[in-house]
Amino acid sequence: MIPELGHFALACAVALAFAQGVVGIFGPSLRDARALYATPLLALSHFAAIGLAFLALVWSGVVSDFTVENIADFSSSAVPLLYRITGVWGNHDGSILLWCLILSLCGAAVAVAGGGLPASLRARVLGVLGLVSGGFLLFTLTVSNPFTRIWPPPLEGAGINPILQDPGLAFHPPVLYTGYVGFSVAFAFAIAALIEGRIDAAWGRWVRPWALISWCFLTGGIALGSWWSYYTLGWGGYWFWDPVENAALLPWLTGTALLHCAIVVEKRESLKAWTVLLAIATFSLSLSGTFLVRSGILNSVHSFAAAPDQGLFILALLGLTIGGSLLLFAIRAPVLAATGIYAPISRESALVLNNVFLCAIAAVVFTGTLYPPFANLLFGIQLSVGAPFFNQTVLPLTAPIILAMGVGPMLPWKRADLLPALHRLWLAGAAALLVFAVLTASRHVIAALGLAGGAWVVVSALTDLFRRRFSTLSRSALGAALGHIGFGVSVLGIAGMTLAVQKVVVLQPGQSTTLGGYTWTLQDIHDAPGPNYTQRVADIVLSEDGAPFLTLHPSRRFFAAQKVITNDAAIHTNGFQDIYAVFADEPATGGAELRLNRHPMAPEIWFGGLIMALGGFVSLSDRRLRVGAPARRRHKPEGVVA
Amino acid sequence: MSPLRRRLLFGIPLALAVAGGEAFYVILRRMQANNYDPHALPSPLLGKRPPAFALPGTNGMQGFANTDLAAPPKPMLVNWFASWCVPCLQEAPMLAKLAAEGLTIWGIAYEDDTQALAQFLQQNGNPYQRLATDAAGTTAINWGVYGVPETYFIDKTGIVRWRYAGALTDDVVARYLNPLLAKYS
């Protein structure tokens, strides 16, 4: 019964979404006030309908309703409650429903918070969101329905993929999707502006908070995903340049560029067409990232196996959304003229530089990700593009960004002198040189360069904060500085990780080995119980100069239902270093095969991501940026034509 | 910039997207038609004979060398596996079925010990007509084995025509193996 209700709600949502699309896009040009009033209501009811459908699916998961194929295939009654809920979006069909839920939530947010927007702009924005949502809901309803029933129902479900049974992964998809899908609002604003043929400073001010909030979630989602792969997969790595990771990185890069150039539109009314193109590109990359990965074209460890016919449906949807918006861009954007002019050395130019390099990195990552399938198609050769390519191409492009990040915030708008700005940065420069000098002494040039770059970014952002004095500091400036500091901290972490040491050893209980200045002793191997797995735990004692200071308990978990063994890494962190141990195997000869790692600065990678997202939220709380200019709205009731 | 050039410039993103979309469309159509597999791993052995090796038998069965694969009477499979590998366990029923249908399958146990192997064969059946053991794993390196299980299709002239990394499933057999058997028998 409940799944049927969910199915029905899903069907209603499709109808409501298309109604929202048609009324929202064509209503304003008909000059029909009813259309302007109706669109926000349609957006809210569309959200309510998907919400109902989603709750129905979660309910089926909670009560283990195995007549629903999705639940029978990916859950079981032995799975703990939390994972019966989160497992709903741990598979292809459910995750697309979650995706649609967040998209409709964005629409509802614009409907509620967009009271200060011109009514026709709001209707058009909601209309664009409605059409996109309608397309993907139709996909869910027709070829990827999470409410498909099976009869007779199995007595027990197949169970969740053990690797997904983890709190990090439970919350990674919703956060990441919010980031992806949030850019739909910036996209809808861009399309609405193209339809209206007008972009001004106000438009820049309306778009920025939406782009910023999705950027915060995307940053958080990527950091969570990276952290998850670091501590669950047991490889001790945090970024693998896997197509799915690249798919998340691409909209992050263009979204970061969008954030920065929307400032130029807001302050200086320049770079309009470019900002619109970035808004379209960012959401297009989010869409492609979510869906091309599922089409089976890209080879990835994130296997959401999907049938090729689903792929064609998705491709048609992507073609309509991306192709349609770029066609509109080609027709309408040439009339958008810049009014502000600026000198080659100015804040604007620094932001253009930021955009050029961010987009260059995006282009490189895009090419590297898509080259293997395209090369196979065009030339019939099979190859894979791996981490070495990305490291060698992306790192050199990051260097100018790191340099410019320090100088840019010091420059005034319109016209600037480089020398006074550089003069203020003497401390940052000295810090970077010092770090570099200390580390080159120990002959790690790459690490030294990276750490010096990180120090440069962090110290220059701090200098900027102190220069402006805290009392007069706006929250958006504080947020921007925090964002830069966060990036610098991540750079420090990434650079520090190049100094990591690793060792694979087989130890018998009682034996020890040395690594990274510590003595690692395998004390014991024993069994321990678990909810739906059994596990073997190794007790490893670390000591320094003979004095034990830490015991780690890495384990091997055996999931009987799926016949899968996972390695649960034991990680001890002190904030500046991770000690990381994996119980890899029990060889036939007895003892334990252990992978031992010492990772200097590793926590800074995710800590930096957290600071970046936090900086975004601080900036978002700035009054000027708050959604929908509240000062004007207070005098009018909700939804009245402005 | 002249208005026309400005228009052309603004059309570039659309042109790129259309080209990309077209390529994805072709890839998806070819995936549907089964003549494109983005997940295939290239094998250096395709179109060649296996490199020289001679492996001893195990569990009372006869081993084999590359010369034994030079000209088999009919197309056959060489299956790399190990008793410690979970996908091999999942693959065992499919191998048993293929063997029962009359397909010749020779096995190579990869870095395995005799006793565990005996138990594995006892529990899952023995689909192999010959069974060699590569205890040191050096032959596997020469073959370019990516991981176990891995299956090689060898035609009547002793040339490797197909390599599949991963467990053989109904889908893989229907999609790849049956057409190969029809072509090379």
Q: Helix/strand/coil (H, E, C) string of A599-634? A: EECHHHHHHHHHHHHHHHHHHHCCHHHCCCCHHHHC
B24: distance to nearest CA of chain A, Å?
8
pLDDT of residue A256 exceeding 50? yes
Nearest-CA residue of chain B relative to A296? B38
Reported residue count of chain A is: 642
pLDDT of residue A631 exceeding 50? no
Cα-to-chain-centroid distance, residue A548: 40
* CB–CB contact B28 A319 (8 Å): no
Tens-place pLDDT, residues A503-532: 888 899 999 899 888 999 999 899 988 887
B93: distance to nearest CA of chain A, Å?
16
Write the single-letter amino acid at B154. Answer: I
Q: For A323, which of B7, B18, B113 is closest by C-beta distance? A: B18
pLDDT of residue B37 exceeding 70? no
Domain boundaries, chain B: 1-38, 54-184
Positive/negative CA dihedral, A557, A562, A563, A567: negative
Tens-place pLDDT, residues A48-90: 999 999 999 999 999 988 999 888 888 888 888 888 898 888 8
Q: Residue A76: its pLDDT value, please?
A: 84
What ipTM is given for this predicted complex? 0.79
Mean pLDDT of A338-355: 82
* CB–CB contact B28 A323 (8 Å): no
Q: How much of chain B exceeds pLDDT 70, in percent?
A: 94
CA gap A510, A540 in Å, rounded: 10
Q: Residue A343: its pLDDT value, please?
A: 79
Structure tokens of B176? 């790849």
> Among residues 565-594 of chain A, which lie with CB inside 8 Å of chain B?
565, 588
Q: Residue A336: its pLDDT value, please?
A: 78
Mean pLDDT of A451-464: 90
Nearest-CA residue of chain B relative to A307? B32
Structure tokens of A12? 């209603």
> What's the pLDDT band for A444 if we cut at 50, 70, 90?
confident
- With CA atoms as reference, report the closest residue to B167 among B51, B99, B52, B82: B82
Mapped to the 3 state alphabet, what secondary structure does A508-575 carry?
CCCCEEEECCEEEEEEEEEEEECCCCEEEEEEEEEEECCEEEEEECCEEEEECCCCEEEEECEEEECC
A582: distance to nearest CA of chain B, Å?
19
Structural contact between residues A15 and A21, judged by C-beta atoms closer than 8 angstroms: no
Q: Residue A50: its pLDDT value, please?
A: 97
A358: distance to nearest CA of chain B, Å?
17
Q: Which residues fall within 8 angstroms of residue A479, CB to CB, at 6 or more apart?
A: A615, A616, A617, A618, A619, A620, A621, A622
Q: How far apart are the first and last CA of chain A?
A: 45
Q: Residue A626: its pLDDT value, please?
A: 52
Chain B hits for A277, CB-CB cut-off 8 Å, are 13
Beta carbons within 10 angstroms of residue B46's beta carbon:
14
A204 vs A335, higher pLDDT:
A204
Chain B hits for A308, CB-CB cut-off 8 Å, are 28, 31-32
Q: Write phi, then psi, for A212 (nearest 5 degrees).
A: -65, -45
Q: Residue A347: its pLDDT value, please?
A: 87
Indicate the average pLDDT of chain A.
Answer: 86
pLDDT of residue A418 exceeding 50? yes
pLDDT of residue A261 exceeding 80? yes
* CB–CB contact B7 A334 (8 Å): yes
* CB–CB contact A588 B23 (8 Å): no
Structural contact between residues A439 and A448, judged by C-beta atoms closer than 8 angstroms: yes
Query: Which of A250, A297, A557 is the best residue to mutate to test the B interface, defined by the most B CB atoms within 10 Å of its own CB?
Result: A297
Chain B hits for A564, CB-CB cut-off 8 Å, are 86
By the CB < 8 Å criterion, does A297 face chain B?
yes
- Write the DSSP string, A12-77: HHHHHHHHHHHHHHHTGGGT-HHHHHHHHHHHHHHHHHHHHHHHHHHHHHHTT-TTBHHHHHH--T
CA gap A204, A261 in Å, rounded: 9
Q: Which CATH class is domain B54-184?
A: alpha beta
Tens-place pLDDT, residues B112-143: 888 888 888 888 889 999 999 988 878 888 88
Task: Give whole-number Cα distances, A577 to A231, A237, A348, A497, A518, in Å.
Answer: 14, 14, 39, 9, 13
